[in-house]
Amino acid sequence: MAEGVLVIAEVADGKLNPLTAEMIAAGQRIVGEVGGIVNVAIFGSNAETLAPEAVAAGGDLVYTFAEAQLDEYLTDTYVPAAEMAISVADPAIVLIGQTSNGRDLAPRLAFRLGAGVVMDVTEFSISGGQVSWTRPCYGGNARAVLAVNTPLQIATIRSKSFDPLPADTGRAGDTIPMESGIDAGAVKQKLVSRETAQAEGIRLEDAPVVVAGGRGLGGPEGFKPLEDLANVMGGAVGASRAACDLGWYPPSQQIGLTGKTVSPDLYIAVAISGASQHWAGMANSKNIVAINKDPDSTMVKNARYAIIDDYKNALPALIDEVKKLKG
Amino acid sequence: MKFVVCLKQVPDPETPASAFKIDAAGKKVVPAQGIAPVVSPFDTQAVEAALRIKDAQGEGHITVLSMGAASARDVIKHALAMGADEGVLIDDPALTDVVDPFVTVKVLAAAIRKIGGVDAVITGRQAADWDWGVTGPGLAEELGMTQATFAKAVTAQNGNLVVERVLGDGFETVSIPTPALVTVSNELGDPRYPQLRQIMAAGRKQVTNYTLADLGLSAADIAPRLTLEKLYIPVKESQVEVIEGETAQEKAANLAKKLREAKLI
Ligand SMILES: Cc1cc2nc3c(=O)[nH]c(=O)nc-3n(C[C@H](O)[C@H](O)[C@H](O)COP(=O)(O)OP(=O)(O)OC[C@H]3O[C@@H](n4cnc5c(N)ncnc54)[C@H](O)[C@@H]3O)c2cc1C
Ligand SMILES: Nc1ncnc2c1ncn2[C@@H]1O[C@H](COP(=O)(O)O)[C@@H](O)[C@H]1O
């Protein structure tokens, strides 16, 4: 009988991405109430070396698919590989990351398997063995709570929504090497090229301080003082979609509903109005500072601290003062 | 090439948060007064993507397809004015307030089969109401098409679509054989804006209406897989402290002090 959870791991920079550990922790919470174990499926050549990481994060049983054809994500290879993992693990619930790969994989897999799918889950509750999934909708303005009626449920999990368990390298867990059995003839997508931007310095998602800029910066040169501030504070620079759409900053640095989710200790929003779709990506920041000309903007109203001024005056002054404090 | 572009009518996503209301008992959004619904923004970009291919090839046929209330005729008209060739509206009382994209996929897939001979289906990456991002890949699976999601550019080359995709940490280019399904992201760029002459011409283009029965679907075929238990507006606590100071330097110094006290510097 289908029971327990299967987490589809995601590998980034040769390691399991932080979201994988967050999903495993969420999985442990689920099986604690509804029974079963947390299975983890890892795809790609170095799957076996990564298995201990998944166990330390709380995985009970790890299926590794150590195949070079799974080193790069393609819908046409990952759907059958995930299908194989599901058929051996036989879970009631599959958790997949709400990343660009997971957003591509989860819905297709759900339709392949006749499963109900809930995207972008940020919370859940369990009562009477039934999971209720909470997700933002209407651009972050609303939350919906949904139940899935099919025997197999698939949910994608937004990063930073669940705390990982402390890594326990002494934990016991089995690893089972698997083969995906992908039918090469069914792989119709051809990868022509891929350019991934290696962020210089600290990654946006991991930075304790994020300095983000919006349309009010007036041009790409407006990001220079943001980079300077991020440098002195040991942070990373993000952007609103408006700034990315204008070509002032790369889309990989976009924060929000359709961009990255960040939850730094300090989020400094410079010349960003605070649209709900932007909030969706930074609402969990521990402290929010708004630097904006407009005291009535949503960003200012919902921040912890605000400086009402032109960023052109405020930022050089702030860089200066932070430098003084840092000595 | 024969295209179908899927369009959804949604409440204007730029509606200010203060005008955004929910009927908690009915578990639905109350339309904001005086703010007209719009074409979901990624969907106008989906139309734009199809038009760019058609322009480049000098031929092609674009059918725009929407499932929605009678008012969704407006989003079809908009796409026809942008340059699409004909419209199909699926309007059936059994389809009001659909929450589960599973239902949408079943219905749209049936319509696309009925249209027939389609080389490429283009959708938005996600609809700006429920933000699911399910319909595109769902349709691809249902119709047995190869998919490419989050397109920033699409071109047709020798019966294939070459799609530049936006990834979390960069870009990639994939080539997929037709029939194919592409979902479009905002990085595609601005959609064209209809000129008055085109708006007039759009009035003469054909819009066909279908009901579920026309598509050969019964209520059992579209039984949802999800149950909406609750819909609510989360509370944001606002306790902003506006930093005082005569000059920018003074404000910055005061802020830096606060951040230091909070151990953030
Ligand atoms: C479906 C959908 C998905 C979306 N996804 C995202 C997303 O993921 N991320 C995202 O960010 N947006 C997203 N958006 C867009 C979002 O709705 C807003 O349009 C966008 O966030 C606005 O960006 P902004 O705040 O930079 O620009 P604006 O709203 O134009 O705000 C500019 C701000 O700068 C201030 N300002 C101007 N000049 C100065 C100055 N000299 N000094 C200081 N302040 C100044 C102004 O007072 C204003 O507050 C999405 C929209 C839709 C419909
Ligand atoms: N009711 C609908 N009618 C036509 N197209 C739709 C409908 N709902 C969703 N779509 C298409 O599917 C995309 C993704 O929608 P969703 O899965 O709801 O986020 C949208 O951008 C549209 O292109």
Closest CA to B7 of B46, B35, B37: B46
* B residues 174-203 closer than 8 Å to A (CB): 174-177, 185-187
CA–CA min distance B249, chain A (Å): 5
Where do the structural domains in chain B lie, given as residue ranges?
2-222, 235-265
- For B133-166, the DSSP string reads --HHHHHHHHHT-EEEEEEEEEEEETTEEEEEEE
CA distance B228 to chain A (A): 5
Q: Which pTM value belongs to this model?
A: 0.97
**For each of chain B's 265 residues, which pLDDT tens digit applies?**
999 999 999 999 999 989 999 999 999 999 999 999 999 999 999 999 999 999 999 999 999 999 999 999 999 999 999 999 999 999 999 999 999 999 999 999 999 999 999 999 999 999 999 999 999 999 999 999 999 999 999 999 999 999 999 999 999 999 999 999 999 999 999 999 999 999 999 999 999 999 999 999 999 999 999 999 999 999 887 789 999 999 999 999 999 999 999 999 9
Q: Name the residue among B238, B241, B265 with its Cβ closest to that of A325.
A: B265
- This complex has an ipTM of 0.97
Q: B245 CB less than 6 Å from ligand 1?
A: no
Question: Which residues 64-103 in chain B show a CB within 8 A of chain A?
Answer: 99-102
Q: Are residues A48 and A156 in the same domain?
A: yes
Class of domain B2-222: alpha beta
In which domain, by residue range, is A272 found?
204-326
Residues A92 and A226 both lie in one domain: no
- Under an 8 A CB cutoff, do A111 and B105 touch? yes
Instruction: Name the residue among B31, B62, B46, B204 with its Cα closest to residue B126.
Output: B46
CATH code of the domain containing A171: 3.40.50.620
User: Are residues A177 and A209 part of one domain?
Assistant: no
Which residues in chain B have their CB less than 8 angstroms from residue A287's CB? 259, 262, 264
Q: What are the start-end ranges of the H helices in chain A?
A: 18-34, 47-56, 75-89, 100-113, 223-233, 241-245, 276-282, 298-301, 311-326
A175 and A209 fall within a common domain: no
Q: End of a domain among A153, A186, A219?
A: A186
Round to whole Å and give the CA distance between A58 and A171: 8
Asked whether the beta carbons of A17 and A111 are under 8 A apart, the reply is: no
Instruction: Give chain A's residues under pLDDT 50.
Output: none
* A191, amino acid identity: L
pLDDT at A199: 64
Q: Looking at the CA of residue A256, tell me the nearest atom of ligand 1.
A: 8
Cβ separation of B186 and A194 shorter than 8 Å? no
CA atoms within 13 Å, Cβ hemisphere of A120: 25
Q: Round to whole Å and give the CA distance between B264 and B24.
A: 39
Q: Is the CB of B43 under 6 A from ligand 2?
A: yes
Q: How many domains does chain A have?
A: 2
Residues 154-173 of B with CB under 8 A from A: 162, 165-173
Give the chain B residue whose CA is nearest to the CA of A142: B233
In a domain? residue A69: yes
**Interatomic CA distance for residues A153 and A34, integer angstroms:** 13
Q: Which two tokens stand for residue B26?
A: 């009915």
Residue B40 has a pLDDT of 98
Does residue A61 fall inside a structural domain? yes
Q: Are B259 and A148 in contact (CB < 8 Å)?
A: no
| Domain contains A192 | no
Q: Is residue A195 part of a domain?
A: no
In-domain check, residue A83 = yes
Determine, yes or no, domain membership for A194.
Answer: no
Residue B180, number of CB atoms within 10 A of its CB: 25
Task: Judge contact between A270 and A212, C-beta under 8 A.
Answer: yes
Residue A317 to residue B251, Cβ atoms within 8 A: yes
Q: Give the closest of B140, B166, B240 to A108, CB-based.
A: B140
Residue of A nearest to B131 (CA): A137
Indicate whether A231 and A320 sit together in one domain. yes
Q: Domain check: are A163 and A17 in the same one?
A: yes
